[in-house]
Structure 1
Amino acid sequence: MAAKILVADDDQNILAALKMLFSCEGYEVTLASQPAQVLKLFQQQSFDCVLLDLNFTLDTTSGEEGIALIAKLAQVDENIPIIVMTGWATIDLAVSAMQNGAADLIQKPWDNEQLLRTSETHIKLAQQQQKSARLNRENQILKALHSNLNPIIAESTSMQAVLTMVEQLAQSDVNVLITGENGTGKSLLAEHIHNRSNRAEHSLISVNMGAISENLFESEMFGHVKGAFTDARENRIGRFELADQGSLFLDEIGNIPLSQQSKLLRVLENQKFEKVGASKTQQVDTRVIAATNANIEEMISQQQFRQDLFFRLNTFEIQLPPLRHRLADIKPLAESFLAGFKAKYHKPELTISAEAIAAMQSYAWPGNIRELSHMLERAVILTTNNHIEPQHLGLQAGNLVHDVTADNAQQQNQQQPEWDVDKTLDELEQKIICARIKHCKGNMQNAAKSLGLSRSAFYRRIDKYQL
């Protein structure tokens, strides 16, 4: 679409010359010869740029009439670039024009190439600013929508205690370590901390540390310059730079390679880093929120994790309780998930029985909130009568809260077959991975090693099964 320019001057010869110049370059040109006409056109139509003479009929040199008009135009739309043109340019006049909203000043007689270049530059700049403003607004809406879609449900006393702690620390800039089992909602709590902080207007950048290979760690976290290594075909911004003025969420910190932990420690200590292949030191202002389901203290004793890095990360530690310790939250969580699935699968009349809620409250939830969400989604799909009953949930008897004493749990395990013959290969693989993670006490590196999988292959399966 052709850019639209409004040209205002009391000299008809100048109007004709400028119309010819810009029309030949593909612009759509509108002419005006009086301030009142300029203001009326500006209010009625949309323009990409205004070329404005400063002197009309009241006098010939002061520019006061044009400057007054600039201020009126800026009140209507301050984002449209106004380029003033005058044959009586002075420093005071230029300063006054800029202060009232002009983007640039061109002295008459003008140079055609310079005028075209200046106009094009300001039009592109204004378009970029408008695009940036739209994107910022979209991000604000999406953040608000995401926050509404994923509320922190805390009717249980254990979660209320967590949120009370969050309110106390959110406004500070201390680093936070969130610990808890798989599926307890650590990433959601990290978002909540960021949204309640003074950095909420800036970005929260999330990084799954287990998914970053060791040889790409520095490039991903700190960025690289073009030509730094074979595949570095262009400059790349790292996660720390993206999170400048905001928050950086480091998920699964127990999977950070030991060889890379010292590099991360340096950034946490002084907020400085260098991109791969660059000699310039950059400084950032980033709050770090970390999370793990591993026993970091045990990893420290096994020399798999640096103690000084741990101390830097856990300035404030929040322990998220497992779902089996949040019985009061199970019903509202289920209702929240159910509302989303009803809309997703077009089943607005779907309800869940009190017996199903009671069954869920008697379940141990080894997969925590993530398991609850997946179980309800499966039940929504399987039910045919718009009413979810306990049999639709597929709860495993071995994981009932009242049956999980050490003795009868072992007895049940001995009685149950090792394999479920009715499960698919994917379901069996998922079950094995979950069992191995539990056996390794949440240490993903040990779990992957024990299964004979590389880190990348292991985390592809974690993403595949949303574990």
Structure 2
Amino acid sequence: MIPAIEGKILIVDDDAGVLSAANLLLKRHFKQVDTEKNPLRIPYWINSVGYDVILLDMNFTRDLSSGKEGFEWLDKILDLDPSVSVVLFTAYGDVEMAVRAIKTGAKDFVLKPWQNDKLVAALTTAMEAAREKRASKIRVTDHKNHRNISPLSEHPFIGNSEAIQQILTTIERVAATDANILILGENGTGKDLVAKNIHQQSKRKDKAFVTVDLGAISESLFESELFGHVKGAFTDAREDRTGKLEEANGGTIFLDEIGNISLPMQAKLLTVLQNRTITKVGSNKVKSIDVRLVCATNKAVHKMVMDQHFRQDLLYRINTIEIQLPPLREHKEDIPLLADYFVHVYAKKYHRTVASLNTSVVKQLQKHQWPGNVRELQHAIERAVILSQSDTLQPEDFKGFQLANEGAPVIETLQLEEMEVLLIKKALQKFNGNITETARELGLTRASLYRRLEKYGI
């Protein structure tokens, strides 16, 4: 008899028959399996027992079809214990909801009625993921107060085209220095991956890598977020707070969307970068900092300087080395390599047998204009792998995603702002105007998306 796997699983479903059948199967494979019919008791179980995996139904008696309760409980579970792996129970018709939930934070989903071996395999993988997440959390304690340390690159920055090879060569040359780097490029081109690659190849690789989305920080909180504050500095300052620059001390700070900050915020940032010192809000104590600065923006920042919307002295300070990332439509020869990579990544993640793409699919992918760049390609492949029923991705696996074809109109504009407007409108239409889902699809915060909607009058 195979020994039971160490770990704790909680099954939450309001169907007594499902609970009984799942419990009977899983207790033969796992050390501890508990069941719960009432989702309102989930916080009690998490706080009193603590679980590695929670197998969660998407629909309960309050709402039998929309999955709304499943999303609500998924959020609550991850708030209570971010390290727990959530696997969803769903009917075949709910697969679209399950895909959305996975993007929100669920680990996997299992179709009802389930196949015993697939259910056990999914929960085993989820158990391993929970353990790795907890192990990573322990390793991060070596960087006390670094609450926003970004994980190392989930995906490599890859490509065989001449453009990408030149960028990889530049990264290799500049990473070992402490030169300030400015990364330019449209949304979805991989600016964050380049920043992480620079850090990973630098002398600071064993120190913190801290990401700051400047587009999501309001002007009133700018100093507090970057420089920190002391208790009592303002109404809601109930305790001392370490700013992002101090968190990154000794390591690398990645200031994303730097083109979105106002001129007053630019002046404050410039002073700190020039002096290499910070003063917390509400304090007179000056603290020296030692950080490697990497910035990124999708804005035409040089034009912004000419239009007096961006300080020239700040631009000089942040772009000792400038790296321009090309949009995917300008290096389409990399699409087969990227698509193949994402197929293998998501086949492994979702336990699918998909191993390749149909030749006609590859040709269609290369004809598509990809306004969302590599990120859009990644999401399209992920969705296709999840929904595919065969070992090879077929055109029908991209249902709901418009692949280019012989008669498809070609987008002629290469203007960054026009492409961004097009992409935002496309995502809004896809999610019926839902701001949260649209922002998640575009890789933006809600605040950043709202600013773009206002800017473009959408």
How many angstroms does 1:234 deviate by? 0.7
Aligned equivalents of 1:194 and 1:344: distance in 2?
A: 26
Q: 1:278 aligns with which of 280, 283, 308?
A: 283
The structure-2 alpha-carbon separation of the partners of 1:403 and 1:381, relative to structure 1 and needing over 3 Å to count, comes to same
The structure-2 alpha-carbon separation of the partners of 1:399 and 1:321, relative to structure 1 and needing over 3 Å to count, comes to farther
How many angstroms does 1:427 deviate by? 7.0
Amino acid of the residue matched to residue 191 of structure 1? Answer: K
**Higher mean C-alpha displacement, 292-301 vs 155-164:** 292-301
DSSP-derived class of the 1:273 partner: strand
The structure-2 alpha-carbon separation of the partners of 1:420 and 1:135, relative to structure 1 and needing over 3 Å to count, comes to closer
Amino acid of the residue matched to residue 404 of structure 1? Answer: V
Q: 1:244 aligns with which of 235, 238, 249?
A: 249
Aligned equivalents of 1:272 and 1:237: distance in 2?
A: 14
Q: 1:156 aligns with which of 146, 161, 180?
A: 161
How many angstroms does 1:434 deviate by? 10
Q: 2:341 aligns with which of 336, 339, 343?
A: 336
Partner of 1:383: 388
Task: Render the CA deviation track for 1:204-260: whole Å, top value 9, x for unaligned.
Answer: 100000111110000000000111111111111001101111110000011112211
Amino acid of the residue matched to residue 425 of structure 1? Answer: N
The structure-2 alpha-carbon separation of the partners of 1:267 and 1:178, relative to structure 1 and needing over 3 Å to count, comes to same
DSSP-derived class of the 1:343 partner: helix
Does 1:197 pair with 2:202? yes
Aligned equivalents of 1:260 and 1:422: distance in 2?
A: 34
Amino acid of the residue matched to residue 340 of structure 2? Answer: E
The structure-2 alpha-carbon separation of the partners of 1:216 and 1:400, relative to structure 1 and needing over 3 Å to count, comes to farther
- Give the length in aligned residue pairs: 301
Length-normalised TM-score, structure 2: 0.59
Which has the higher Rg, Structure 1 or Structure 2? 1
Alignment of 1:251-330 (within 5 A): 251-330=256-335
Partner of 2:212: 207
Aligned equivalents of 1:421 and 1:233: distance in 2?
A: 38
How many angstroms does 1:277 deviate by? 0.5
Contact 1:176-1:313 within 8 A present in 2 as well:
yes
Alignment of 1:134-173 (within 5 A): 135-136=141-142, 146-147=152-153, 149-173=154-178
Aligned equivalents of 1:423 and 1:358: distance in 2?
A: 24
Amino acid of the residue matched to residue 200 of structure 2? Answer: N
Aligned equivalents of 1:374 and 1:388: distance in 2?
A: 14
> Where is the helix percentage greater, Structure 1 or Structure 2?
1
The structure-2 alpha-carbon separation of the partners of 1:447 and 1:434, relative to structure 1 and needing over 3 Å to count, comes to farther
Contact 1:179-1:291 within 8 A present in 2 as well:
yes
Partner of 1:425: 432
Does 1:220 pair with 2:221? no
DSSP-derived class of the 2:183 partner: strand
Amino acid of the residue matched to residue 156 of structure 1? Answer: S
Partner of 1:448: 454
Does 1:404 pair with 2:410? yes
Aligned equivalents of 2:407 and 2:170: distance in 1?
A: 28
Aligned equivalents of 1:352 and 1:293: distance in 2?
A: 31
Contact 1:362-1:402 within 8 A present in 2 as well:
no
Unaligned runs of 5+ in 1: 1-130, 138-142, 408-417, 453-467
The structure-2 alpha-carbon separation of the partners of 1:300 and 1:421, relative to structure 1 and needing over 3 Å to count, comes to closer
The structure-2 alpha-carbon separation of the partners of 1:332 and 1:234, relative to structure 1 and needing over 3 Å to count, comes to same
How many angstroms does 1:428 deviate by? 9.8
The structure-2 alpha-carbon separation of the partners of 1:443 and 1:350, relative to structure 1 and needing over 3 Å to count, comes to closer
**Higher mean C-alpha displacement, 162-171 vs 420-429:** 420-429
Length-normalised TM-score, structure 1: 0.58
Contact 2:353-2:390 within 8 A present in 1 as well:
no
How many angstroms does 1:361 deviate by? 1.5
Contact 2:152-2:196 within 8 A present in 1 as well:
no
DSSP-derived class of the 1:207 partner: strand
Amino acid of the residue matched to residue 279 of structure 2? Answer: E
Runs of 4+ displaced beyond 4 Å: 131-137, 143-147, 397-403, 418-424, 427-435, 442-447
Does 1:354 pair with 2:359? yes
Aligned equivalents of 2:150 and 2:216: distance in 1?
A: 28
**Higher mean C-alpha displacement, 257-266 vs 175-184:** 257-266
Q: 1:234 aligns with which of 229, 232, 239?
A: 239
Task: Render the CA deviation track for 1:166-186: whole Å, top value 9, x for unaligned.
Answer: 111111111100000110000
DSSP-derived class of the 1:425 partner: coil
How many angstroms does 1:384 deviate by? 2.3
Task: Render the CA deviation track for 1:384-434: whole Å, top value 9, x for unaligned.
Answer: 233211343355367989953749xxxxxxxxxx99999551479988999
How many angstroms does 1:325 deviate by? 1.9
Contact 1:364-1:399 within 8 A present in 2 as well:
no
Task: Render the CA deviation track for 1:361-393: whole Å, top value 9, x for unaligned.
Answer: 222111001100111122123322332113433
The structure-2 alpha-carbon separation of the partners of 1:422 and 1:146, relative to structure 1 and needing over 3 Å to count, comes to closer
Aligned equivalents of 2:429 and 2:294: distance in 1?
A: 42
Partner of 1:366: 371
Task: Render the CA deviation track for 1:253-284: whole Å, top value 9, x for unaligned.
Answer: 11112211111001111201200011011110
Aligned equivalents of 2:321 and 2:138: distance in 1?
A: 35
Aligned equivalents of 1:207 and 1:422: distance in 2?
A: 29
Amino acid of the residue matched to residue 178 of structure 2? Answer: D
Amino acid of the residue matched to residue 339 of structure 2? Answer: A
Contact 1:208-1:252 within 8 A present in 2 as well:
yes
How many angstroms does 1:329 deviate by? 2.0
How many angstroms does 1:355 deviate by? 1.6
Contact 1:295-1:443 within 8 A present in 2 as well:
no
The structure-2 alpha-carbon separation of the partners of 1:315 and 1:390, relative to structure 1 and needing over 3 Å to count, comes to same
How many angstroms does 1:145 deviate by? 9.1
DSSP-derived class of the 2:232 partner: coil
Aligned equivalents of 1:209 and 1:422: distance in 2?
A: 27
What value does the CA root-mean-square deviation take over the aligned residues? Answer: 3.7
Contact 2:185-2:324 within 8 A present in 1 as well:
yes
Partner of 1:8: none
Aligned equivalents of 2:299 and 2:358: distance in 1?
A: 36
Amino acid of the residue matched to residue 396 of structure 1? Answer: Q
How many angstroms does 1:199 deviate by? 0.9
The structure-2 alpha-carbon separation of the partners of 1:188 and 1:237, relative to structure 1 and needing over 3 Å to count, comes to same
